[in-house]
A and B are shown apart, each in its own frame.
Chain A
């Protein structure tokens, strides 16, 4: 294989993408090399369009074409409810369910005392400012049930309580379709804590 040439440079660029090791990068590079020019051109155009046209929504930090994202612009969505997520991927997972009609707020990650990631790093103040300035009546914290997600949820509850609005945490418990006997200790405790009346 050509050691210092442009193909190697492409492999290096691809390797810098998350989840792509050297072997995969080489396979992708050879594929691009062999593929018809118009296919490669289309990929280049799409990447350029994404970089030029997309940014973060001014209100919720979702991906947006322009100032506000599609969800914030949609007048049929309930602007009094906001679901807080750690990242855009979680927002899309929730959107796919089609079961939620309120708005979102995307943090820049989750608090991590283990890694020294603090409130300023994940931009919690943006959420506080938004609550202060808008007609939000309920905040639903949908961070992951990891130690980072739990820390973020506790921190947000302290931050938002003074506004006197409703704040809740998504239920954590046993996955649908799982046998209870296989659930581990932490999951079972969480599902007991999150029980509701029937």
Chain B
């Protein structure tokens, strides 16, 4: 029986049996792991609130030979981000980040920079006056560090530089395509306005800590959300859990006009293992 100690963020926690919980963590040293916490739902459980989603804690796990499920032995809260819990938009934004970090990494693969982006994102979403936008920007950061940085400086099919004209975002190509090449794309590629493209590039160039200063217009936001939603879906290889309809703000207003319903397939860095569910 071996012992693992690592900083971790709770991605998901679900009831198990009469009083236990099965918890999915994104850990700094061991990537995504699942563990069982015995008696976690009892009133006087030693785990307290440390197994609630989005909590950043120091985690101690026991590995049992022949079992993919770890035994959670100890948790010490580092940051509980209590402000996330006071707003629906923040809860929803945090959920998008947690689901994305889980979807773009494979079980047991440590990706420290994704861990860092997730942690920064949770903190920023909790403090943000505009958690929906903040979450979207940190979704980009998580994608970047998972190896899916969108390429926006040229057509990703014919290599023509992006200056002037109408451009489209191809989730499959992971970036912009020109109006000629978009016709070859098998799935819907939303058009991106020059203003949105400029905003996108700026967001990707900026330091993490400065991201909350960006204030795009409503039109740019809607384009941005649409592109991110499609790209995330393509990278994850599946539809992510719906979050719109819960908050007042519709994350993907353009979505209703989309008849395709087909998820584009992109070859992720982690190939076959990338679609592992959280």
| Beta-carbon contacts under 8 Å, A26-72 to B | none
Query: How many angstroms between the C-alpha atoms of A112 and B96 in the bound complex?
Result: 11
Q: How large is the interface on B (under 10, 10 to 19, 20 to 34, 35 or more residues)?
A: 20 to 34
From A18, which residue of chain B is reached at the shortest CB distance? B17
We find that the number of chain A residues with CB closer than 8 angstroms to chain B is 27
Query: Chain A contacts of B82 at CB under 8 A?
Result: 185-186, 189
Query: Chain A contacts of B85 at CB under 8 A?
Result: 147, 150, 186
Encode A91-124 as 1/0 by CB contact (under 8 A) with B.
0000000000000000000011111111110000
Q: In the assembled complex, how far is the CB of residue A195 from the closest CB belonging to chain B, in whole angstroms?
A: 16
| Beta-carbon contacts under 8 Å, A155-185 to B | 155, 158, 175, 178, 183-185
Q: Are A147 and B53 in contact (CB under 8 A)?
A: yes
Query: How many angstroms between the C-alpha atoms of A114 and B103 in the bound complex?
Result: 12
Q: Are A175 and B246 in contact (CB under 8 A)?
A: no
Query: How many angstroms between the C-alpha atoms of A184 and B82 in the bound complex?
Result: 12
Q: Are B87 and A154 in contact (CB under 8 A)?
A: yes
Q: In the assembled complex, how far is the CB of residue A49 from the closest CB belonging to chain B, in whole angstroms?
A: 26
Q: In the assembled complex, how far is the CB of residue B127 from the closest CB belonging to chain A, in whole angstroms?
A: 16
Query: Chain A contacts of B53 at CB under 8 A?
Result: 114, 147
Q: In the assembled complex, how far is the CB of residue B257 from the closest CB belonging to chain A, in whole angstroms?
A: 20
Find B88's partner among A154, A183, A189 (CB 8 Å cutoff).
Answer: A154
Given A113-B92, A114-B99, A187-B49: 18 more A-B contacts, CB < 8 Å: A113-B91, A113-B241, A114-B98, A114-B241, A118-B242, A118-B245, A147-B53, A147-B54, A150-B85, A151-B92, A155-B88, A158-B88, A175-B43, A175-B44, A184-B49, A184-B50, A185-B77, A186-B85
Which residues of A line the B interface, CB within 8 A?
Answer: 19, 111-120, 145-147, 150-151, 154-155, 158, 175, 178, 183-187, 189
